[in-house]
A and B are shown apart, each in its own frame.
Chain A
């Protein structure tokens, strides 16, 4: 029905190539500028802060695919971060031993070590996506509250499992003798996985964030992405219009888990962070949920702004860091009362000048 017209309306190759590849180039350039211009100028404190900001942006924007786009309520995002972080960490740490006999950073930009790190990010993301599929498929058939409970449970179970892992092996001779299974279960337990080489740079963080932003915006402006949004808007109507709601919820979940896994991988290889089970528990999940709720459910730019704000504030306001939980809880309550749709609502910041949502009820809330 669409087929013939769709074929007739295909644009030229030049247009497609520039539109399809252009944004990748733009984000790559931005990442280079960040690394080569901003970082040397700003110094190590801001370098670390930029990486933290980027990682939190990855987490907030990816969770937004589930909570904002499809209107589900997942509160276990840090669990997927942990999967990605531990898998990627194991890949680079033990991989470095196997390849180069030591876990130290190996080679320069795009050298052997960097490539191993990128492979780790990819594998971590894929494992996390797999976990997302396993958690999502059964639970996304359920209504909202159940999903929240299942995702919360997933994060907690994972935390306990990671706490039970063995100490990290750091003696070369022992690693040589170890089986892959022994390595995979030697992740540091409750003490955390120490010794992972520091491969994460501002460049890589912004490359990954660029990828996610491209995916998120392209989704939002495509038929596939509108299928996600329709579920948030009215699930019964979406189904009646032919949208396979379970399938699209699972897709959102798997995509979000993939990028959370990559965020975890970046976190694991960042200086000044420890990859330990406590760090990636419910507390972290809650932080990410707050970013999405504050930024606005479905607003990519809103999630970005909230992630930046909530990363920067605690760094500069010690007071804020101490009172963080209280302030979060209070601001949530105030928001629910006065602006339940989030700071920026469900629209992108540049769409805010449009007419505000009117009082006339449509679709939503109907039985």
Chain B
């Protein structure tokens, strides 16, 4: 087996007394599409925040394509090739759809402030390349016709897809998707799953997906990691994980607690949770 493109070794973080993530490890081979699941508040988003440098891990190491990235600032990690979407949508609301994607292209730009102010040839060339790249991404995500609209005016599903298009514009090696299908109907979810498969192939991406919708996760993920209370409780193929008693217990609650109304329930309000 080749070296993993994303190698996470026992990272942890505690907020005060709350151990949000404990000794989380993950090894993503290049080209993989894996899932990260767990009940509400399990620490999934916190794992993403650790990987992308929003929080600095208190223990452990993160290696991206052979390079150690834990402790770097988020923008450096993005430049190194790790991109993400946000569970609670964080678009640049008062910029156009096109500009949202173009901002994300900036990390790959080479000309600087002086070129922009004096309008050199290199500046024009780069602006044209950025525009071309952004438009082609919008095309893939079916957002071309909305390129000139302000992001805040987009329908919800389009905002979610714009988040992915924007993340891709940074030219990532690994893409982290935080509940990309939250709030979508089954039809939209299926379309999104196809889209994820498509861009993964087209861009040679490695994808880590957080998703509450078990159907979606079980369908498209090759392997799944399950966390609960910040602790990894299971890992394996969708079928293995589904049959794991620890997972069933985590989702249904301990026997002495009242079980939730419906089993592995997608959280309708989860879109409003923290980053």
Q: CB within 8 Å of A: which of B46-99? A: 52-54, 73-75, 78-79, 83-84, 86, 88-95, 99
**Interface-facing stretch out of B13-21, B117-125, B213-221, B232-240:** B117-125
B177 CB to nearest chain A CB (Å): 13
A120 to B274, CA, bound (A): 52
Give bound CA distance, A8 to B125, whole Å.
7
- Chain A at the B interface: SS class: helix
Query: Is residue A51 within 8 Å, beta carbon to beta carbon, of the partner chain?
Result: no
Residues of B within 8 A of A242 (CB): 75, 78-79, 104, 106-107, 170
> Is B23 an interface residue when CB atoms closer than 8 A count as contact?
no
Are B110 and A6 within 8 A (Cβ)?
Answer: yes
- The residue in chain B whose Cβ has the minimal distance to the Cβ of A298 is B94
Q: Which of A198-246 contact B (CB under 8 A)?
A: 214-215, 218-219, 222-227, 229-230, 233-234, 236-245
State how many residues of chain A have any CB contact under 8 Å with chain B: 52
Cβ-based interface call for A346 (8 A): yes
B261 within 8 A of A: no
Tell me which of B127-135, B192-200, B243-251 binds A.
Answer: B127-135
On whether the beta carbons of A2 and B118 are closer than 8 Å, the reply is no
Asked if A237 and B90 make an inter-chain contact with CB atoms under 8 angstroms apart, the answer reads: yes
- A16 and B151: CB pair below 8 A? no
Q: Are A226 and B106 interface neighbours, CB within 8 A? A: yes
Known interface pairs A245-B75, A251-B113; A240-B84 also in contact (CB < 8 Å): yes
Q: Which of B27-35, B153-161, B262-270 contacts A (4 or more CB under 8 A)?
A: B153-161
Is the pair B150, A367 in contact by a Cβ cutoff of 8 Å? no
Q: With A5-B129, A366-B90 as given contacts, are A20 and B119 in contact (CB-CB < 8 Å)?
A: yes
Smallest distance from the beta carbon of A247 to chain B beta carbons, Å? 9
Q: Is the CB of B103 within 8 A of A227?
A: yes
Interchain nearest-CB distance for B166 vs A (Å): 7
- Which one of A40-48, A110-118, A260-268, A354-362 is at the interface? A354-362
Pick the contact of B166 from A6, A223, A241 — CB < 8 Å? A241
The answer on a CB contact under 8 Å between B121 and A218 is no
A360 to B104, CA, bound (A): 22
B143-169 near A? 1/0 per residue, CB < 8 Å: 000001111111110010000001101
Chain B interface SS verdict (over half): helix
Nearest B residue to A3, CB-CB: B110
CB-contacts of A2-25 with B (<8 A): 2-3, 5-11, 13, 15-16, 19-20
Complex Cα–Cα for A5 and B79 (A): 19
- Whether A236 and B106, one on each chain, are in contact in the complex, defined by CB atoms closer than 8 angstroms, is no
A363 close to chain B: CB less than 8 A: yes
A239 with B73, Cβ < 8 A, contacts A218-B116, A223-B102 known = yes
- Are A362 and B151 touching (Cβ within 8 A)? yes
State the CA gap A1–B170 with chains docked (Å). 10
Separation of A346 and B93 alpha carbons in the complex (Å)? 12
Which of chain A's residues has its CB closest to B128's CB?
A9
A143 contacts the other chain (Cβ, under 8 Å)?
Answer: no
In A320-367, which residues have CB < 8 Å from any B CB? 346, 354-355, 357-358, 360-364, 366-367
Q: How far is the CA of A355 from the CA of B150 in the complex (A)?
A: 8
Contact residues of A between 136 and 150, Cβ < 8 Å to B: none
Q: Give the residues in chain A near B79, CB-CB below 8 Å.
A: 242
Q: Could you tell me the distance in whole angstroms from the C-beta of A350 to the nearest C-beta in chain B? A: 14
- Any A CB within 8 A of the CB of B109: yes
Contacts of B166 in A (CB 8 A): 241
Q: Does B108 contact A (CB under 8 A)?
A: yes
Q: Let me know if B95 and A5 touch, CB within 8 A.
A: no
Contacts A11-B124, A223-B109 aside, 4 further interface pairs with beta carbons under 8 A come to: A5-B129, A229-B92, A241-B107, A241-B166
Q: List 17 A-B contacts (CB under 8 A).
A: A10-B121, A10-B125, A11-B121, A11-B125, A16-B121, A219-B117, A224-B116, A239-B73, A240-B75, A243-B75, A243-B103, A354-B150, A358-B153, A360-B156, A362-B91, A363-B91, A367-B274
